[in-house]
Amino acid sequence: MAPRAPGGERRVGLLVCGHVHPEALDVGGDYPELFTALFRNQPVRLVRFDAESGQLPASLDDCEAWITTPSRASVNDDAPWIRAIEDLVRALVAAERPFAGMCFGHQVLARACGGRVERAPGGWGVGAQRFDVVARAPWMAPRAPTFTLVASHEDQVVELPPGAQLLATAAYCPNAMFAIGPRALGLQPHPEFPAALSRRLTVLRRDLIGAEASAAALASLDAPLDRDLVAGWIARFLLG
């Protein structure tokens, strides 16, 4: 049984699979700081595991729920740490332990359970993007027909795993949010990214993303983001 955090909070393992660009760390910190800020109003205490460096939990019981962070790596890269995190996610799903994968973690969940991840045919997904809810679960409260979050990815899930339920979609990213069984959730965009961080990263990666896509992304970032809404959804999903 996972130990409980003090004060009624729940211990959520943060499997850190990458790092924010060093020239953008001043905006909101690295992923542990970004996710801590995201869940500031939720009864969550994050416990960090540096998965990219090979630090994985000794037991699935080390925490009550789990989150996999984004990464600049591709899930299709042949790196031992990526295969190790894929095995861990597969074990979490099999044991029905609460798990949520963000961006890279969303793609790891898909691949670990039999889905397919490829380079997006339309190129990078960046900036503030609107996602349409196509199925509602009890934890998605308050209800919303759409939500807007920052996207920042070149790969995406092109085929869902067998038995997965599609929850949200977008024209540029059809498989944007899905669930596998009652306890595993994948979300392609970044609820932890404020607009200022997306703006900085887009400027830093302009040559990689392309001038036209970068300009469109920067222009999109005046749109309100639904970060608190989605943070509540994720917390309710993980904590039950």
* 125-133 vs 165-169, strand pairing mode: antiparallel
Of all residues in the chain, the percent with pLDDT exceeding 90 is 94
Find the mean pLDDT for residues 101-127: 95
- Is 124 part of any domain? no
Domain that holds residue 51: 6-119+155-193+226-239
Which pLDDT band, with edges at 50, 70 and 90, does 9 fall under?
confident
3-state secondary structure 3-67: CCCHHHCEEEEEECCCCCCHHHHHHHCCHHHHHHHHCCCCCEEEEEECHHHCCCCCCHHHCCEEE
The model's pTM: 0.94
- pLDDT of 240: 84
User: In whole numbers, what is the pLDDT of the chain averaged over residues?
Assistant: 95
- Is 101 part of any domain? yes
Find the mean pLDDT for residues 22-51: 97
- Is 198 part of any domain? no
Q: Give the tens place of pLDDT for each residue, 38-77.
A: 999 999 999 999 999 999 999 999 999 999 999 999 999 9
**Into how many domains does the chain fold?**
1
- Is 148 part of any domain? no
- What CATH number did the domain enclosing 65 receive? 3.40.50.880
What distance in Å separates the CA atoms of residue 164 and residue 208, rounded to the nearest whole number?
32
- pLDDT of 69: 97
- Is 1 part of any domain? no
**Chain-centroid distance, C-alpha 196:** 18
- Is 188 part of any domain? yes
**Cβ-based neighbour number of residue 42 at 10 Å:** 18
- Is 54 part of any domain? yes
- Is 207 part of any domain? no
- pLDDT of 7: 57
